[in-house]
Amino acid sequence: MKDFMKIRPYCRETGFPEKTLRKLCDSHLGHRFARRTGDAVNSHWVIDTKKFKAMWDREEFRNVL
């Protein structure tokens, strides 16, 4: 797995629900593990997979979901 991936390829590779990951990226914690490729609303999200996995394992998203 790569260190940085877009949402759709990451979800296809890991089986993580895409809708849930998009919700997490838009949450107040999204800036800690993801960034947008541009300034537009429809620009792609790029995820730092190691940071996301660590946050998921520590259950930091409990308040968001």
Q: How far apart are CA 39 and CA 33, in angstroms?
A: 17
The phi and psi torsions of 15 (rounded to 5 degrees) equal 85, 10
- By C-alpha distance, which of 45, 20, 15 is closest to 31? 45
Residue 29 has a pLDDT of 94
- pLDDT at 44 > cutoff 90: yes
Q: What per-residue confidence (pLDDT) applies to 31?
A: 94
By three-state DSSP, how is residue 41 classified? Answer: coil
Write down the domain spans for the chain: 4-57
Query: What's the mean pLDDT in 17-43?
Result: 94
Q: Is the pLDDT of residue 48 over 90?
A: yes
At residue 19, does pLDDT exceed 90? Answer: yes
Mean pLDDT of the chain: 93
- The answer to whether residues 24 and 64 touch, using CB atoms and an 8 Å cutoff, is yes
